Structure formats: C-alpha cells, structure tokens
Amino acid sequence: MRRALLAAVAACAASCGRYADFTLPPPPAGPAIASFRWTAEALPVLGRGAAGEWDSVDVLNPSVVRFQGQYWNLYSGFDGAVWHTGVAVSADGRAWRKQGRILSPGGGWEGAYIAANGAALASGDRLHYWYQTGPRERPVLGLATSTDGRNWRKHPEAALAPGPRGSWDERGVADPYVLETQGALYLFYLGQDRARRQRVGVARSRDGVRWEKLRANPVLELGDYGQFDENGLGEPAVFAAGGEYWMIYTGRARDETRRIGMARSADGVRWRKVPPAIAGEQPWNHAVVCDATVLPDAGGRWRVWFGGGDAPRPDERVNGQIGYATLTPEP
C-alpha cells in the first residue's frame, strides 16, 4: 500500500492539473429536509495555548474524525508567525485533551509559513490529512499519513496545485475538505484567481494523490453586493442528508466579518445557497464564525465543530478558538 502511494506521488506533477467532467454519486435517499436548526454551545470547547506556545495566537480549522475508538481533532494553531497542525483527542467530542503539534512547514516546496488548515479522513488503520502549505502568496495542498495519529509521513510533492494562467484557481488552492463515497474521494477546496476572488471548487481522486479538477469549476460563487459572502467564500464542509448534498461554508463580508452559510445540491456540482447565514452570538465569536467540520450523530442530527473569533480580519489574529454546535434537520 505504501509503495503504491509513493509510486503515485511520482506521477503527481504530471497529473495534478488534469480536468474532467463529473458529478458526485447520488446521495442516499432519506426524508426530505427543508433546512437545519443551528444550536451552538455558549463557550468554546478548545482554546488557545499559553503565551509563547505554538497555538497561542489562534486556534482554528478543526477537522474531527473517529479513529481508534475516540474523536480526533486535527486543528490549526498560529504562533504569530507560522501556522502548524496539532491534535487533540476526546471521548465525547466536547472535552478535549491536547496532544501537541504534529506538523509544521518543512521548507523547500512547503515554504516556512503554513502546514495546517487541513482535512482529515480515517480509512481503516490509517489517517490521511490534506493540508494547506507552500508559499503564502500561492498556496498548494500537501498530504500526510499516519497509523497512530501522532507520527506522520509527508508525501514529497504537492497533492493539488494551482491551475494554469487565467484559471479561477491560478493564485492558490486552500481549505480542503474530503468526502469519500462509493470508492472515490471528492475534494472541495478554495481557489483564488488573479483578482484575489476566493470561490469553491471540487476535484476527484481514487487514491488521494492524483486529482482531476472539475472542468466547470468553481461550483460556488461569491454573493451579491451587500451579502455576507461578497468578499470571498471558502472552508467548505460537505455531507449527505435527506437525499441531497449539503455544504457548510465560510463567507467573508466587506468589513471582514465572517459567517457560516449553507448550500444544497442534488449532484455535488450544482449548488443553491440556503439562507440565512449563521453569525456568532457570543463575545468570543461575534466577529468570526468559520471553518466547520461535521460528523453524523444519533437521531439524524449532525455534530459541528467550528472556528470563531472576536477580531474581524481576513485570515489570522482573530483570537481564534474552537466551538461546538449541532445541526437538527427540519422538514
């Protein structure tokens, strides 16, 4: 398995830029859902580290999976200069125990600014983690794997690179979220063009290393003037419920406040936004609500972990912490 993955990486440089026409497989049938009710806990469930620690400035971008009988949260921490990835574990998804930093940028093609803002996927006895890295002005997506959640092996080249000149994602790819269905992986991600517009697209893969980008990208456009997502959107989280695909995404307003929006789709490619946007209601997240990750819960609900902050900035130094909410379907 390891040999096959490493061999696939060798072909990545020639294959990352491939394009294809596709849709996601039909989602499982279920009772129709008109909307979801968002219920958030008042206090964050994972906070920043002490002064001088690797996650002392911001704690954001949770990616929560079930692995080895407990919840694992691969989250992003900012120390004021560099973004790293750390891990916390929990028996119930609410009380978290930090286990320390697991990934930092390694120089070379990764640069020195970020190895974080990623998406975790548990598959058998292995964790896969796609993460944002590369130069700050033109980020790429890397891939790391682990069998124990604490010791990680990075693949030696980018898994997904920006598109060619003039494309919607020529200036960078970021904010990965990976959905596995019917033997294929679908990666929803942010792309940035030369006008600095940030929108959402999708790519498809069989092995997590070689990706085909949808020819018709992007799949989610900016909001109209005055909308909460007029200045940029990204950080998608996609799940299937009620016979449709649903997306939670972050929208940036002109004043750099951030809210969470929702969209729905029958095929994972053609999306329709569903108002209203979700804003932070507590002092710690009144300016920023972002970075959602979702897992199903008993009774048809969905568990959501998300980032929040009280400073309206476009990327960092928002005093970020991680909160918890549930999504309850409403017919």
pLDDT one-digit tens code per residue, 241-266: 999 999 999 999 999 999 999 999 99
Tell me how far apart the terminal alpha carbons of the chain are, to the nearest angstrom.
44
| Residue 101, pLDDT above cutoff 60 | yes
Cβ atoms of residues 83 and 116 within 8 Å: yes
CATH superfamily placement of domain 34-330? Glycosyl hydrolase domain; family 43 (2.115.10.20)
Q: Model confidence over 255-304: pLDDT tens digits? A: 999 999 999 999 999 999 999 999 999 999 999 999 999 999 988 899 99
pLDDT value at 43 more than 70: yes
Q: What is the pTM of this model?
A: 0.94
Tell me: the pLDDT tens digits for 148-191? 999 999 999 999 999 999 999 999 999 999 999 999 999 999 99
- The mean pLDDT of 97-121, rounded to a whole number, is 98
Q: How many of the other CB atoms lie within 10 Å of CB of 71?
A: 20
- What number is the average pLDDT over the span 103-121? 98
Would you list the domain boundaries of the chain? 34-330
What is the three-class DSSP state of 206?
coil
Please state, in angstroms and rounded to a whole number, the distance separating the CA atoms of residues 67 and 246.
24
Local confidence band at 7 (pLDDT 50, 70, 90 cut-offs) = very low
**Residue 9: band (very low, low, confident or very high) from pLDDT cuts 50, 70, 90:** very low
